[in-house]
């Protein structure tokens, strides 16, 4: 039902309540007896019938421990003793509170529902050298799509045309447009800001990043935080106790008072029930967590459940993968030195040989060396897995690769060359050592700031885990000021370290990674964090939190959102209990009537709702 249409019953009931109060105030001669009763009864049923129906359904299942039952008993009881306006006001304000809750949830869903709007209804696909308009669901992997300026990318793919400027704000939470180049991955739901882009599809529609995000958010709504589960269990005992106390308020004075007026004490009991109704807790707690999940998605962070927000809030230790998480996972040339060759000649020959390979190391070298002359003679190129390449360049045999390849061809590496903390690619020409290229994985721009933020947030232990060489891992750890680092780790060894800490039970442990080899560690941690933009499907699938960009700083932001969400939830819990206890005492003593009960119940509920939605507008920097 449209949210605006849902306001109509409440509005009509409010008009009837206001009209009835005015008629009573001016003592209209006709507004009495049956007319008075029918007027208020009609207004009550307009707004209260959904609550009565829900209470009846729960009652049929012998469930008395719910707010619908309490609200129905209290308001019907008030009606029975002639407090028509007060009974109507209680039910009206309850319904208004429910509508405001739905509006707040609707607002919290805005960022999530915006993703639904990102799903294009059509895709322009190339078939038989012609472009056809089809449904995105009908596009197959490896087909080519055309995306015009201002259009959304219907599926995940690799850019095959020229460069394009892409807006990924709704997917990643980053408002700054990205410049994409051929060979780079583009996510479904992104917007092409200039020119015409052509992509090769990597995943079918139902497997696209956008579809996975929607699925994750839908599942997150179903997972309750410990605080929510506790309050639900609490209500199972709270409601019967409240009902028993209401009976006691009604009947116990008969044993102690000389003059016992049943109507007075039953009225107090009904006031007590209205005040005791736990709807403020039912409303504000889940709304607080849902608002937190919505705020996180707005910042490019997906929680798969509210319970993971509570765990991340109390995070004690975090283990972080190196390659692709704290580093870019792409090599760049840091240093070149030539022996027995001119530097320029070494660069030309290396460019010619490495241009025949698609390996990341080869791409890094050719990206550094640039192009080679068109008349360069390149023959007999052989790529040797895990070692390097050989070939004939301008009539001379060239060998490029690691120390193993040099040893295989009996090429002596000068003793002074040490590449302990970097990847070293050696070159030999004509059987003689010709020089070397030092390559290193680049640290992400925000990695160092991330470590500092995590420390300021009170994360006690931060460790770097990597399958890369131990020397390289230690060097990166030193640059990032990480105390503990382990290199040369197999996937099962990473997982074993995480499992050892989890089994100690000294606080929640998180693991953040992006690769298939990280999936066991992600699954084994109390909170598994996947870097979602470039991360593997398996890592994302097994994780509890997905960072939709490759920015490690979002991990610290996720902790901040978790803590702010928890702070607001407990603010609401304390506020509700303080007000409830105060007014319960006043109601039992006869110092609070139905109108005060309305404030104590729905007034505090509304305050809790407005407090909960604050998180949706808060900035987390």
Q: Yes or no: say if 312 and 545 are a contact pair by the CB < 8 Å rule.
A: yes
Q: What is the pLDDT of residues 203-244, one digit of tens each?
A: 888 777 666 655 655 554 455 445 555 666 676 677 788 888
* Distance between CA atoms of residues 140 and 467, nearest Å: 35
Where exactly are the structural domains of the chain? 3-109+220-291+563-617, 120-217, 306-326+444-543, 329-443
* Whole-number pLDDT of residue 448: 92
* Whole-number pLDDT of residue 173: 47
599 secondary structure, DSSP code: I
* Whole-number pLDDT of residue 556: 93
Q: Yes or no: say if 210 and 123 are a contact pair by the CB < 8 Å rule.
A: no
* Whole-number pLDDT of residue 154: 84
* Whole-number pLDDT of residue 396: 92
Is the torsion defined by CA of 154, 158, 160, 165 positive or negative? positive
Low-confidence ranges of the chain (pLDDT < 50): 1, 3, 111-112, 115-116, 173, 175, 220-221, 224-225
* Whole-number pLDDT of residue 97: 67
* Whole-number pLDDT of residue 349: 93
* Whole-number pLDDT of residue 575: 87
Same fold? 120-217, 306-326+444-543: no
Closest by CA position to 210, among listed 123, 134, 109, 118: 118
For the chain, give me the number of helices (H) and strands (E)?
Answer: 23, 22
Q: What is the pLDDT of residues 474-495, one digit of tens each?
A: 888 988 999 889 887 877 888 8
129 burial (CB, 10 Å; 0-12 / 13-18 / 19+) is: exposed
Closest by CA position to 328, among listed 528, 530, 164, 551: 551
Strand order in the sheet with 378-384: 327-338, 432-443, 423-429, 396-401, 388-393, 378-384
Considering the domain 306-326+444-543 in this protein, what is its CATH number? 3.40.50.1000
* Cα 574–chain centre separation: 27
Other beta carbons within 10 angstroms of residue 42's beta carbon come to 13
Distances 426 to 44, 225, 377, 399, 403 between C-alpha atoms, Å:
86, 55, 21, 8, 7
What is the residue-averaged pLDDT of the chain? 81
Considering the domain 120-217 in this protein, what is its CATH number? 2.70.150.10
Of 156, 307, 321, 526, the catalytic one is 321
* Whole-number pLDDT of residue 1: 45
Buried b (16+ CB within 10 A) or exposed e, 48-70: beebbebbeebeeeeeebbbbbb
Specify whether domain 329-443 bears CATH 3.40.1110.10: yes
Is the torsion defined by CA of 509, 513, 516, 518 positive or negative? negative
Judge whether 321 counts as a catalytic residue.
yes
């Amino acid at each position: 039902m449209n949210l605006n249409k849902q306001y109509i019953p409440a509005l009509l009931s409010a008009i009837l309540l206001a009209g009835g109060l005015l008629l009573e105030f001016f003592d209209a001669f006709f507004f009495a007896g049956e007319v008075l009763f029918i007027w208020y009864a009609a207004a009550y049923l307009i707004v209260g019938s959904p609550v009565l129906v829900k209470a009846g359904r729960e009652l049929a299942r012998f469930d008395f421990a719910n707010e619908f039952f309490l609200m129905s008993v209290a308001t019907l009881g008030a009606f029975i003793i002639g407090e028509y306006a007060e009974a109507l006001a209680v039910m009206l304000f309850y319904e208004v509170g429910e509508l405001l809750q739905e509006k707040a949830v609707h607002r919290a869903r805005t960022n999530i529902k915006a993703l639904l709007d990102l799903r294009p209804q059509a895709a322009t696909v190339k078939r038989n050298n012609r472009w056809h308009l089809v449904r995105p669901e009908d596009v197959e992997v490896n087909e080519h799509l055309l995306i015009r300026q201002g259009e959304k990318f219907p599926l995940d793919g690799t850019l095959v045309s020229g460069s394009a400027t892409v807006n990924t704000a709704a997917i990643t939470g980053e408002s700054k447009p990205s410049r994409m180049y051929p060979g780079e991955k583009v996510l479904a739901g992104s917007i092409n800001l200039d020119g015409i882009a052509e992509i090769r599809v990597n995943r079918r529609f139902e497997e696209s990043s956008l579809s996975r995000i929607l699925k994750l958010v839908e599942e997150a709504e179903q997972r309750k935080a410990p605080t929510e589960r506790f309050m639900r269990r609490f209500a199972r005992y709270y409601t019967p106790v409240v009902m028993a106390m209401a009976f006691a308020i009604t009947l116990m004075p008969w044993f102690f008072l000389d003059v016992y007026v049943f109507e007075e004490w039953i009225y107090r009991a009904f006031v007590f029930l209205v005040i005791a109704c736990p709807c403020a807790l039912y409303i504000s707690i889940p709304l607080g967590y849902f608002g937190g999940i919505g705020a996180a998605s707005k910042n490019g962070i997906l929680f798969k459940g509210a319970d993971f927000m509570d765990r991340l809030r109390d995070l004690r230790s975090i283990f972080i993968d190196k390659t692709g998480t704290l580093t870019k996972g792409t090599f760049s040339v840091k240093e070149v030195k030539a022996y027995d060759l001119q530097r320029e000649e070494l660069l030309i020959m290396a460019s010619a040989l490495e241009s025949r390979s698609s390996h990341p190391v080869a791409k890094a070298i050719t990206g550094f060396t640039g192009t080679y002359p068109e008349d360069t003679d390149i023959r007999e190129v052989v790529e040797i897995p895990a070692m390097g390449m050989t070939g004939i360049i301008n009539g001379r045999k060239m060998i490029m690769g690691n120390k193993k390849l040099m040893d295989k061809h009996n090429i002596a590496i000068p003793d002074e060359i040490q590449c302990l903390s970097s990847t070293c690619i050696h070159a030999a020409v004509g059987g003689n050592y010709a020089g070397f290229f030092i390559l290193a994985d680049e640290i992400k721009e925000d990695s160092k700031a991330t470590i500092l933020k995590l420390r300021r947030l009170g994360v006690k232990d931060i460790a770097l885990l990597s399958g890369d060489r131990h020397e390289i891992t230690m060097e990166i750890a030193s640059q990032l000021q990480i105390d503990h680092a382990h290199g040369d780790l197999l996937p099962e060894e990473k997982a074993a370290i995480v499992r050892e800490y989890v089994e100690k039970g000294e606080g929640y442990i998180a693991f953040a990674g992006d690769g298939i080899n990280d999936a066991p560690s992600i699954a084994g941690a109390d909170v598994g964090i996947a870097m979602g933009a470039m991360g593997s499907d398996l890592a994302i699938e097994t994780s509890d939190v997905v960072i939709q960009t490759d920015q490690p700083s979002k991990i610290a932001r996720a902790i901040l959102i978790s803590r702010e969400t928890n702070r607001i939830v407990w603010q609401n819990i304390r506020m509700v209990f303080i007000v409830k206890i105060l007014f319960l005492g006043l109601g039992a003593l006869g110092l609070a009537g139905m109108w005060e009960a309305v404030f104590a119940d729905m007034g505090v509920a509304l305050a809790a709702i407005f407090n909960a939605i604050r998180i949706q507008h808060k900035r987390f920097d």
